[in-house]
A and B are shown apart, each in its own frame.
Chain A
Amino acid sequence: MTDKTIAMTAAGVETDVIPARGRVVKSKWMRDLLTFLMVFGPGLIVMVADNDAGAVSTYSQAGAQYGTHLLWIVLLLLPVTYFIQEMVVRLGIATGKGHAAMIYQRFGKWWGLFSLVDLELVNFLTLVTEFAAIHLALSKLGVDPRYGVPLAAAGLIFIVLSGSYRRWERSVVFLCLLDFAWFAIAGRVGPPFGQVVKHSLLPSMPAGGITPDLMFLVIAIVGTTIAPWQLFFQQSCIADKRLRFADLKWARLDTLLGAFITIAAAACMMIVGTASHAHGFRFTDPAQMAIDLGRFGGPFVRDGLLLLMINAAVLGTTAISLSSAWAYGEVRGWPHSLQFPVREAPGFYVLYLISVAAAAGIVMIPRAPLQLIILGVQVLAGVMLPSAIIFLQLLLNDKELLGEFANKPWNNWVNWTIIIVLFVLSVILAVQVTAPNLFPSAAGGPTT
């Protein structure tokens, strides 16, 4: 492999007119590997960032309440999350534009504004919950959150300010790879491997059968695995990275790999929750679970879990804030790329900065209404997810827009089935959150 500059167009024809930096390799195998590594990123990031602080809480609560019995549901979500994000990949590569811009241009201002306002609102409220998790985990680590939370916010702002998409992507991919520590901790504290495999592959019900509590936890698991911001984030990310038509198969592989990693990490969170249950601890929140498990697992387990909780919140924060900033920039027609320095895209960076700083600021307020914020996230996500997926499905059937990249009939069968299931689950969740007295036997609502 050499590192030299060659004049070459996107189609592979040498030219003196438009220069492009490239690497020359001598085998097809190396070409494919290098191309994949260059395309790799958006799929992994969107999937791993989805295992944010709320996801850590939901999966570990599921493990703490029902052991490994719900692992098969997590596995079932692997194709669902892949199919949805694969549509986003096609849309992003074919149009080179973000999801918010597409909704605006193809469905008009009303739907465009509705999607944008809903996205910005639910994203901001989710950011507050991410910083609340950072605050909680830092307190348990013995770090004063008055210094730790602003420091985390400053770090999150710093990683986007370099004016280089690649630098941001490398930093975030590194954080994503830290998620592999979940495997080490789950392996150390979890139940026997045979039990994990059995409950992952064979659907089973916990003792007590289907109760409202179980049903709502299942809905929360689905809701946390498929989030509206993911659609906006990955499409904008692909547009910002300027992925080409020829990159489609590698972008699909990136997304599939990300889906496997995130589902495996989610299963590990559930396994860790199972360990907490097996030792007789009552689940209140993941930070307390880390302290409880640390009593027999040692400081590696305790500090490892708390740091993973912070990492999950940091990953969620950068991805969610960027999805907000990209979407707003697309709709307003502002320059909105991580490739631009701050002076060339001030609105984009200021929006990112405001999102992060305001969310961090809210959790620093004593007695901030976090429960109300969590309720807001649940309701708005319930409104947002089905509508965002409907728009996605309609756009993917838009042959005028996508041509050969449009959905095939089998795609539509799979996707409409997913959409109908998500609609039903979202309605049930919204009814539970807004009218809990309609479910008198439910002891408590789901977590975010």
Chain B
Amino acid sequence: METMKNPSHFLVVHPLDDVPEVKVDTEALGPMAMTRSVRLSLMSLRAYLVLMILLVVYHVVMLAR
């Protein structure tokens, strides 16, 4: 960024010394809209997690035998 008084000079500010930027207000947005692709992705994830749980149960059953 150029300084206003002298355009040939550049000011570099460390992010922690700079004025905090205004970011998107994520809390105001609320939950994500459940579009078809989002719903499909989350359903695939649920199926994957069920498979993982079944594998762990299988492992525990085999260990218990």
Contact = CB atoms under 8 A, between A and B. Distances in A.
Contacts of B20: 10, 96, 242
A39 B29 contact: no
A427 B33 CA distance: 29
Nearest to A402: B24
A6 B11 contact: yes
A308 to B, nearest CB: 31
Interface in A240-275: 241-245, 247
Contacts of B56: 379, 434
B14 to A, nearest CB: 5
Contact of B1 (A12, A39, A387): A12
B21 A244 contact: yes
B13 A95 contact: no
A387 to B, nearest CB: 6
A77 interface: no
Q: What bracket does the count of chain A residues touching chain B fall in?
A: 35 or more
A25 interface: yes
B33 A339 contact: no
A281 interface: no
A133 interface: no
A26 B9 contact: yes
B22 to A, nearest CB: 9
B17 A12 contact: no
Interface string B33-51: 1000110011011001101
Given A431-B55, A435-B55, A20 B32 contact: no
Contacts of B62: 435, 437
A21 B14 contact: yes
A31 B16 CA distance: 17
A242 B12 contact: no
A13 interface: yes
B37 to A, nearest CB: 8
A247 B2 CA distance: 16
B49 A26 contact: no
B54 to A, nearest CB: 9
A430 B2 contact: no
Contacts of A144: none
A242 B13 CA distance: 12
A245 to B, nearest CB: 7
Contacts of A393: 41
Given A14-B3, A26-B9, A241 B16 contact: yes
A22 B17 contact: yes
A78 B37 CA distance: 28
Contacts of B11: 6, 8, 12, 22-24
A164 to B, nearest CB: 9
Contacts of A105: 26-27, 29-31
Interface string A305-320: 0000000000000000
Contact of A94 (B23, B30, B45, B48): B23
A106 B1 contact: no
Interface string A1-43: 0000010111111100010111111111011001100110000
A34 B23 contact: no
A435 B11 CA distance: 60
Contacts of A245: 21
Contacts of A39: 15
A63 interface: no
Interface string A375-398: 000010011001100100110011
Contacts of B42: 107, 111, 390
A96 B29 contact: no
Contacts of B3: 6, 8, 12, 14, 24
Contacts of A189: none
B16 A339 contact: yes
A386 B45 contact: yes
Contacts of A402: 24
Interface of B: 1-5, 8-21, 23-24, 26-27, 29-33, 37-38, 41-42, 44-45, 48-49, 51-52, 55-56, 58-59, 62
Given A26-B9, A94-B24, A95-B24, 7 more contacts: A38-B12, A101-B26, A105-B29, A106-B26, A390-B45, A431-B55, A437-B62
30 contacts: A6-B3, A6-B11, A8-B3, A8-B11, A10-B19, A10-B21, A14-B4, A20-B17, A20-B18, A20-B19, A21-B14, A22-B12, A22-B13, A24-B10, A31-B12, A94-B24, A96-B21, A96-B23, A165-B16, A166-B14, A166-B16, A241-B16, A242-B15, A242-B21, A244-B18, A382-B52, A383-B49, A434-B55, A434-B58, A437-B62
Q: Pick the 6 closest A-B CB pairs, nearest first.
A: A12-B1, A434-B59, A96-B23, A31-B10, A22-B13, A434-B55
